Amino acid sequence: MHIAIASGKGGTGKTTVAANLAALTEGDETVYVDCDVEAPNGHLFLKPELSFSETAGIPVPQVDPALCTGCGKCVEVCRFNALACVAGKLIVFAELCHGCGGCVPACPEKALTESSHAIGTVSRGMAGDLHFVQGTLRVGAAMSPPLIRAVKAKAPDAAVIIYDAPPGTSCPVITTLKGMDYVVLVTEPTPFCLNDLQLAVETVRTLGLPFGVVINRADVGDARVRDYCDAEDIPVLLTLPEDRRIAAAYSGGALIVDALPEYRASFMELLGKIRDGAGQREKGKAVRS
Amino acid sequence: MIMKIAFSTSGKDLNALVCSRFGRADGFLIYDTDTDEYTVVENQQNVNAPQGAGIQAAQAVVKAGASALVTGHCGPKAFTVFAASSIRVYHSDEVPISEALQAWRRDALAEMHAAAVDGHWV
Q: Are B59 and A87 a contacting pair at CB < 8 A?
A: no
Strand duo B4-9 + A89-92: pairing: unpaired
Q: Is residue B36 part of a domain?
A: yes
CB proximity under 8 Å: B 58-77 to A: 58-59, 62, 77
Encode pLDDT of A57-72 as tens digits.
999 999 999 999 999 9
Tally of CA atoms within 13 A in the half-sphere of A105 that contains its CB: 3
Q: Write the secondary structure of A145-191 as one string of H (helix), E (strand) and C (coil).
A: HHHHHHHHHHCCCCCEEEEECCCECCHHHHHHHCCCCEEEEEECCCH
Number of domains chain B is built from: 1
The predicted structure's pLDDT at residue A223: 96
Distance CA A189, CA A226 (A): 8
pLDDT for position B1: 65
Domain membership of residue B76 (yes or no) is yes
How many Å apart are CA B41 and CA B11, to the nearest integer? 11
pLDDT digits (tens, 9 = 90+) for A244-253: 999 999 999 9
Domain that holds residue B85: 12-45+53-112
Contacts of A135 (CB under 8 A, 6+ apart): A34, A35, A37, A40, A56, A120, A121, A122, A123, A144, A147, A148, A150, A151
B81 and A86 within 8 Å at the Cβ level: the answer is yes
pLDDT tens digits for range B25-74 = 999 999 999 999 999 999 998 998 988 999 999 999 999 999 999 999 99
Residue among B22, B67, B77 with most chain A CBs within 10 A, to mutate? B77
User: Pick from A207, A153, A159: which is nearest to A183 by CA?
Assistant: A207
Q: Is residue B60 part of a domain?
A: yes
3-class DSSP assignment, residue A2: strand
Residue A222: burial class (beta carbons within 10 Å; 0-12, 13-18, 19+): exposed
Compute the average pLDDT of residues B3-9. Answer: 96
pLDDT value for B122: 44
Using alpha carbons only, give the angle B7, B64, B107 rounded to the nearest 5 degrees: 40
**Residue B4 is assigned to a structural domain of this protein:** no
Contact (CB<8Å) A86/B59: yes
A131–chain B nearest CA distance, Å: 33
- Name the phi and psi angles at A15, rounded to 5: -65, -35
Among A38, A81, A137, the residue to mutate for chain B (most B Cβ within 10 A): A81
Whether the CA torsion B14, B17, B20, B24 is positive or negative: it is negative
CATH of the domain at B29: 3.30.420.130
C-alpha–C-alpha distance, residues A80 and A206, integer Å: 26
Indicate whether B40 belongs to any domain: yes
The answer to whether B2 faces chain A, any CB pair under 8 Å, is no
A96:B51 CB<8 A: yes
Q: What is the pLDDT of residue B2?
A: 66
Asked if A103 reaches chain B (Cβ–Cβ under 8 Å), the answer is no
Q: What is the pLDDT of residue A184?
A: 98
Structural domain includes residue B97:
yes
Segments of chain A scoring below 50 in pLDDT: 288-289
With respect to residue B5, please indicate whether it lies within any of the assigned structural domains.
Answer: no
Q: Which domains does chain A have, with CATH numbers?
A: 2-54+120-288 (3.40.50.300), 65-110 (3.30.70.20)
Burial A117-152 (b: 16+ CB within 10 A, else e): bebbbbbbbebeebbbbbbbbbeebebbbbbbbbbb
| Cβ-based contacts of A100 with chain B (< 8 Å) | none
At A105, the amino acid letter reads: P
Output the DSSP codes for A50-91.
EEEEEEEEEEEEEE-TTT-----HHHHH-TT--EEEETTEEE
Asked if A139 is an interface residue toward chain B (Cβ–Cβ < 8 A), one would say no
Q: Does A5 touch chain B (CB under 8 A)?
A: no
A and B: number of Cβ contacts within 8 A? 51
Q: Which residues of chain A are within 8 Å of residue B86 when distances are taken between CB atoms?
A: 87
Please indicate if any CB of chain A lies within 8 Å of the CB of B115. Answer: no
Instruction: Please tell me the distance in Å from A253's CA to the nearest CA on chain B.
Output: 31
The predicted pLDDT at position A140 comes to 83
B81 Cβ under 8 Å from any chain A Cβ: yes
Poorest-pLDDT segment among A168-172, A211-215, B82-86, B93-97? B82-86
Contacts B46 to A, Cβ<8 Å:
81
Say what the ipTM of the complex is. Answer: 0.84
Q: What's the mean pLDDT when you consider all of chain B?
A: 92
Mean pLDDT of all residues in B103-122: 82
Phi then psi for residue B41, to 5 deg, are -105, 120
Instruction: Calculate how close chain B gets to A83, using CA atoms only, in Å.
Output: 8
Mutate to test the interface with B, among A75, A85, A86 (most CBs of B within 10 A): A86
B26 domain residue, yes or no = yes
